[in-house]
Amino acid sequence: MQKIPLALAYEGLILAQDIKNEDNPDGPPLCGKGVTLTGSLISRLNRMGVQSIAVEGHPIKMEGERTLEEELAVLDKRFKKVQDDPLMKTLKEIYRVQTIKSRS
């Protein structure tokens, strides 16, 4: 899942979370999780004042953001001094799996 500005949204992206009305967050969603974005839906959300949305996967590289490979390299570097510790190996693997899941 990735949170992106609505201005970067394009047709075919799939919403990863409901879009709520900021004035009434307990009310019904403006648009539901799992909906595929269309040009007209993006325009309508823009007219409603929606600033950002959460989409499935990680479709957009944001400025200053690391690639998956860079993130995994940083993880390897952080755990290098404790690579022989079985508990730390397990912890590193948990982080690695979560990092990969967050990008898909």
Q: pLDDT tens digits for 69-95?
A: 999 999 999 999 999 999 999 999 999
pTM summary value: 0.64
Contact between 71 and 92 under an 8 Å Cβ cutoff? The reply is no
Q: Mind giving me the DSSP string for 17-57? A: SPBPBTTBTTS--SB-TTPBP-HHHHHHHHHTT--EEEESS
**Rounded to an integer, what distance in angstroms lies between the CA atom of residue 49 and that of residue 12?**
21
For the CA atoms of 25, 26, 30, 32, what is the dihedral angle to 10 degrees?
Answer: 110
pLDDT in tens, 1-32: 889 999 999 999 999 999 988 888 888 998 99
